[in-house]
Structures are given as structure tokens and as C-alpha cells.
Chain A
Amino acid sequence: MSIAATFEIEFLQYLDAEGKLVRDDLPAIARDVRELVELYRQMLFVRVFDAKAVALQRTGKLGTYASCLGHEAAHIAIGSAMQEDDVFAPMYREYGAQFIRGVKPREVLLYWGGDERGSDFSGPAHDFAWCVPIATQCLHAAGSALAFKLRGEPRVAVTVVGDGGSSKADFNSAINVAGAMQLPLVAVIVNNQWAISVPRKAQTGAKTLAQKGIAAGLECLQVDGNDLIAMRSAMDHAIKRARHGHGGMVIEAVTYRLSDHTTADDARRYRPDDEVKAAWQREPLKRLKAYLVGLNAWTEKEEEDWKADCAQRVDAEVNAYLETKSQPVEAMFDYTWAELPADLAAQRAQALGADKSH
């Protein structure tokens, strides 16, 4: 018998669900306690923001909103591992990564609050906005990575897709072309076990989602997506090798969607409470807090003070969002083209007339 190819997928974890180290060959980030505390603070901020956003939707002050509850470690690791020059092509719930990149919470709220100006955000101008057509963003990241490669720029494109999105042609096309062209692309599959109501096992017969990258010729890794240290270490590795011309990588971040898919969804219809309860035991903040408290780097008092601080900052963002007046009716026309064609100018005038008559 001759073997044409073999592969194995490493599972990376440093912190278990209780916050205990499971190995001692620690990456640099694990020893940088000050940085870990900072990242923990950001995870907590995102959680406070997320709860507030859901509350805004429930009280009629926000449209449909996609929660990021449970994904904080994955998202903060992604954002903190990237440089400003790199390009981020998110799906639609990676607020933690985006906040680190300069996107303001009020801009997230504006987007879900029905205003395009949310996507004209304060983050890097080259970052893509939220992408609702599933997995299409992966190819935009690949195209960005191709632009960097053609121009000889040491930049990396990072994209995020879900476990459901990993079934789509666009995801597979993106990692395929990244392998064929040796593109600096890091594709993170945030596997939160549920694509709205469809469980992970219904997406593919493959044992891991990470191994999809094998077929594309990329390096692959499965990571405990609730372990910030493992996630950040994986991202640092993937971004470094991509930046140095060693090609793309697929990272599967194994986590759990603790919330509904969006505020328009009711997950109780399709998944058992026990599963969700068990997932709360593995959630990302609890374990990092336990680890930091164990190192005497974080206290309950600091936790309470920081939460209060977060609530205040989030309130300020919410107020800024609520005080943002709608754009005038002509805004729907004015960004369609660089220059408004005559036909559309006529429709714009009509719309203005109709608007005034009300």
C-alpha cells in the first residue's frame, strides 16, 4: 500500500474550563499578565455592550441584532493579534475584534439601528463592514490578500465565518485560492455549534472544520475558542507566518453560541436547555478570570469597578446612537454612484418632493 497523503489536526488549549493550565509550554501572551488583564477587560466590555444592545432591541430602540455572547475570547484574540494595516473582513457579530480596531459601539448600534453610517465606521478605512450574505466576505478577504501580495505589502487579511458558513462555496473558494496563490489569508471558523437552528453535525461529515483547510493546502489548527490564551497564540502564529509569505491558515475556534442567533430568533425551539447550561460552564470569561485571580492579577473589586465603568461607557455610546438623527431622504441616492446619473437625479428630485408633501 502506498499513502498519497496523511494529515492530523492539532487541538490547542492552554486553559481548561476552570482556568487551570493544561500544559506548561506557554506562549508569550500567557506570561504577559498586564496584557491578559487588558484583554479580559475588553472581553467584559463587549459582554456589557452586548447585553445592552439586546435590551435596546427588546425595548424597540434597535432593529434585529446579532449577539456575540460566548464568542468574546475568539473575537478579542482576533482583534488584538492584528495590526492596523491588516484587513478585517468580519461576518456580523465580531464586535470585540472591531472595537479593538477602532470601531465605536455607537456605530455597531447605528448599523443594526437601520443606518448605513454605521458601516462608515471609525475603524481602519480598508476594513470591510458587516457581511450578511454568508461567507462571501471570505473571498473579499482573499482578494485583499491578493492585492497585498501583488503590491508586495507585508499585510494580512483576516476573515471570520461560522460553522454554517464553512459549508458555503465562498468559504471553500477563498481557502482554495489562498492555497493555490499562497495568499496571506487567515480564515477563522468560529464554530459556535449552531447555524441558526441547524447543529454542527448537520453541516458536514468531516470530523473537524479545521481540516477543510487541508484540502486547500493550508495549515490548519483547531483551538479551544473559549480559551483566550490559545486563541491569541493561534492568531499570533497564523498572522506571523502569513505576513512573512508562508501562506494562509485555517483556524477553527470551538465555542458555543450562548445567545439566540439574533434577536429575531428563539433558540428554545430547537436546542435543549441542558446543552446551553453545560456550555455556560465552559464560557470564556469565567476561566480567564479564574486564571487571573489565581495569579493575583485581578480582584472582585476590580471586576465590579470595571463593570460599572463599562456600563457608563456603553450608556454614553447608546445615548450618542439614540441622539443620531436619520439622514435626509436624499441620502439613499447620494452614495449609489460616484456621480449621480441624470435618471437617478430625477428620481431623487421626485423623492424630495414626495418627502416634503408629507
Chain B
Amino acid sequence: MAQITLIEAVTQALAYEMKIDPGVVVLGEDVGVNGGVFRATVGLQEKFGADRVIDTPLCETTIAGLTVGLAAQGMKPVAEAQFEGFIYPMMEHIACHAARLRTRTRGRMTCPAVFRAPWGGGIRAPEHHSEANEHLFTNIPGIRVVLPSSPGRAYGLLLAAIRDPDPVVFFEPKRIYRQYKEEVPDDGEALPLDVCFVLRDGSDVTLVTWGAQVKETLEAADALAEQGVSAEVIDVATLKPLDFDTIHESVRKTGRCVIVHEAPRTAGFGAEIAARLADEALYDLLAPVERVTGYDTHIPLYRLEMKYLPSVERIVAAALRTLAAS
């Protein structure tokens, strides 16, 4: 079986679902002949035709509005925002329409759509190509927010997102698009959209993260192990709705929690997890919850961007602080 990267897993999932469901169409800028600027849709137009892999005019508003219209009329559109920094013109259609079509019509109309976007920093890209803005979507009722961090999870979660009867914002951590390969059987098996993934068992501290930061967090767990600290690592992956139970269960065991994300700290999604821990897990905690995040600045242009993104050292230091506190 072939080993594939995260981005190849995205392509594999799109191709699988397009093959079995004629209602699935892909639309966006450069998704056709060019196969997407990251090659996520490479070969799809050749295989499925220009009617199902649609190059739109260069207008994110158009992509999002068409997507709502297509979904409302029974298609299963998968829209691509070329970068997460260009998703803002789409937000009105996502928040005002996709997210509320079901409830505002009491279920008469629905919006089974996926809004995909490469996400996050660390690829030495130009300005507006490196944002982490998942928290702007997790506050919107009626949409799922998904952020896979491995080829296998990208494949299974994207299949689930396309099959879901409600809209899904699907962010792809572009920094780890090609970080490593793994075997991903093209078996059409979807993963659940409301379960966190425990990537490593541990007993001293729980490290909670998502997206490309899974890489640094796993490396931090290795570094902690060398110091005799056993860290459990959780990839949240499906941010909204949040599987808090898995996080709580882990914290009940370890008594310590470090939340790692590359988005700015204030009102980032880590704040929600920390608040939930304060609400529901306070008496399980042996130390204050730590957050290792991007700063409350814009992510800098690429000369400084790695100074902005949480590093292994910062994660390790935070974990050690929770241990020192108890």
C-alpha cells in the first residue's frame, strides 16, 4: 500500500467521495487544471471533468455564495479558500447563511457543504498566507470546525465532513502538508467528527493541541520523557463540537494541562478549553492550566514567524511549570 502525505490524503478523500457521490463538486480558484496551488485537487478535473471540479472567478465571496446555493439545492459542494487569510470575504456566507440555513427554516433547507482552507504559519509565505483563525469560526453556532494533523486523520475526517449533513469548516495545516507519509488505505472509512484523538498516553501532564502544532507537542513529549515526565498528548482535531470528555478524562488522570495552539492567545480556542477545565475539572487539577500560544500580535512576516509559533522549548517549559506547581 502506498504511503501518502497529508495533502495527498486530502486529494484521496476528495477523489473517493466524488467517485461514490455524483453530488459532490469541488469549486475554488485554480482547483481545476492547476490542481490547486498546493495540489490538493491535482488530477481531479482530469478524472471527473470541469463540471465537477470548477474554477470560479477570482472572488472568495462568489465561491462561498455559490456553495450555499449549491448545497441548498441538494449538491454536496466542497469549496476551497486558497489560504485561510483569504477566507474573510467568505465569512458572511458561512456565518449568516450556511450556519443558520437549517435553523432559520426549521429544517426545510440545509447546507451540507465543506469550506476547505490551507491553514497556519511556518511555510515562509507572503503576508496574509499564514493565519491561524479557527477561533473565529468555533464561536459560530451550526458549523463544525475540523483541523486534522495527520494523513490518516485528514482522509477520514474529510470524508466525514463531506458526508455530514451540516456545514463544516475544514482547515488543513499547510506546514505539515508534506511533513511525513503514512499508509492510508483508500477504503472510504470516515472518522467521527466529535471525538478527540489521544496520540500518546501519559500520566503526569496532558498536552492538548491541534493542527501543525501537534508536531512540536509530540516533540515536547519526547523531550519531557527524557526528563522522566510522562506526557499525554491529545489532538483535538474536531474543535467544534468539542469532545471535552476525552480531555477531562485525561486531566482527571494527570492533574495538569498545557494547551498549545498557534492562534493568538486572547479568546483563542484554548481559552474555551481552559474555561471548561475551570468549570468542570477544577478539583482534578493539581496546577494552574497553562496556555502556550501565538502572541496577541499578527503573525509576523516570515523572518520572525518561527519566533511567534509555539516552540518545543516553550511547551516543555510550560509543562515543567505545571509540575513545579504541585
Query: Are A344 and B103 in touch, CB under 8 angstroms?
Result: no
Tell me whether B109 is interfacial, beta carbon within 8 Å.
yes
Give A69 to B164 CA distance when docked, in angstroms.
43
Q: Which of B54-62, B282-290, B292-300, B308-316 contacts A (4 or more CB under 8 A)?
A: B54-62
Closest B residue, CB atoms, query A344: B241
Among A126, A146, A342, the one with the most B-chain Cβ atoms within 10 Å of its Cβ is A146
Closest A residue, CB atoms, query B143: A337
Give A129 to B101 CA distance when docked, in angstroms.
9
Tell me whether A7 is interfacial, beta carbon within 8 Å.
no
Give A141 to B59 CA distance when docked, in angstroms.
16
- Chain B 88-106, CB-CB to A under 8 Å as 1, else 0, gives 0100110011000011111
Residues of A within 8 A of B141 (CB): 336
Query: Are A173 and B73 in touch, CB under 8 angstroms?
Result: no
B-facing residues in A281-296 (Cβ within 8 Å):
none
B25, B89, B108, B241: the one within 8 Å of A125 (CB) = B108
Query: Are A117 and B106 in touch, CB under 8 angstroms?
Result: yes
A-facing residues in B6-35 (Cβ within 8 Å):
25
Tell me whether A136 is interfacial, beta carbon within 8 Å.
yes
Query: Are A147 and B73 in touch, CB under 8 angstroms?
Result: yes
Tell me whether B75 is interfacial, beta carbon within 8 Å.
yes
Q: Which of A174-182, A307-315, A318-326, A350-358 contacts B (4 or more CB under 8 A)?
A: A174-182
Residues of A within 8 A of B71 (CB): 143
B62, B105, B194: the one within 8 Å of A177 (CB) = B62
B-facing residues in A121-174 (Cβ within 8 Å):
121, 125-126, 128-129, 133, 136, 138-148, 150, 157, 169-170, 173-174
Query: Are B66 and A116 in touch, CB under 8 angstroms?
Result: no
Question: Contacts A120-B106, A120-B107, A338-B166: A144 and B194 contacting too (C-beta < 8 A)?
Answer: no
A338 → chain B, closest Cβ, in Å? 4
Query: Are A140 and B97 in touch, CB under 8 angstroms?
Result: yes
Query: Are A337 and B69 in touch, CB under 8 angstroms?
Result: no
Question: Contacts A133-B92, A147-B75, A173-B62: A140 and B68 contacting too (C-beta < 8 A)?
Answer: yes
Tell me whether A15 is interfacial, beta carbon within 8 Å.
no
B10 → chain A, closest Cβ, in Å? 23
Give the interface SS of chain A, mostly helix, strand, loop or mixed. Answer: helix
Tell me whether A341 is interfacial, beta carbon within 8 Å.
yes
Query: Are A136 and B104 in touch, CB under 8 angstroms?
Result: no
B-facing residues in A170-221 (Cβ within 8 Å):
170, 173-174, 176-177, 180
Give A142 to B72 CA distance when docked, in angstroms.
12
Query: Are A139 and B103 in touch, CB under 8 angstroms?
Result: no
Query: Are B105 and A116 in touch, CB under 8 angstroms?
Result: yes
Tell me whether B43 is interfacial, beta carbon within 8 Å.
no
Tell me whether B110 is interfacial, beta carbon within 8 Å.
yes
Question: Contacts A177-B62, A336-B102, A336-B142: A143 and B244 contacting too (C-beta < 8 A)?
Answer: no
Question: Contacts A129-B105, A335-B106, A335-B107: A170 and B65 contacting too (C-beta < 8 A)?
Answer: yes
- Chain B 46-80, CB-CB to A under 8 Å as 1, else 0, gives 00000110101101011011111111111101000
Among A119, A145, A173, A344, the one with the most B-chain Cβ atoms within 10 Å of its Cβ is A173
Among B96, B102, B105, the one with the most A-chain Cβ atoms within 10 Å of its Cβ is B105
B166 → chain A, closest Cβ, in Å? 5
Question: Contacts A120-B106, A120-B107, A337-B142: A143 and B165 contacting too (C-beta < 8 A)?
Answer: no
A24 → chain B, closest Cβ, in Å? 41
Q: How large is the interface on A (under 10, 10 to 19, 20 to 34, 35 or more residues)?
A: 35 or more
Residues of A within 8 A of B77 (CB): 143
Query: Are B57 and A136 in touch, CB under 8 angstroms?
Result: no
Query: Are A338 and B108 in touch, CB under 8 angstroms?
Result: no
Give A139 to B70 CA distance when docked, in angstroms.
10
Give A86 to B241 CA distance when docked, in angstroms.
36
Tell me whether B247 is interfacial, beta carbon within 8 Å.
no
Question: Contacts A133-B92, A136-B92, A143-B73: A116 and B106 contacting too (C-beta < 8 A)?
Answer: yes
A335 → chain B, closest Cβ, in Å? 4
Tell me whether A38 is interfacial, beta carbon within 8 Å.
no
Give A177 to B28 CA distance when docked, in angstroms.
12
- Name 20 A/B residue pairs within 8 A (Cβ), A-sorted: A120-B106, A128-B109, A133-B97, A139-B61, A140-B72, A140-B97, A142-B65, A142-B66, A147-B69, A148-B73, A150-B52, A157-B69, A173-B57, A173-B61, A176-B57, A177-B66, A335-B106, A338-B164, A342-B194, A343-B242
The 10 closest A-B pairs by CB, nearest first: A143-B69, A139-B65, A341-B241, A120-B106, A143-B66, A147-B73, A335-B103, A338-B165, A140-B69, A173-B62
Q: A169-B89, A335-B107 are in contact. List 14 more A-B contacts (CB 8 A).
A: A116-B105, A120-B106, A126-B73, A126-B109, A133-B92, A138-B65, A140-B72, A141-B69, A143-B73, A150-B75, A170-B61, A174-B65, A176-B62, A343-B244
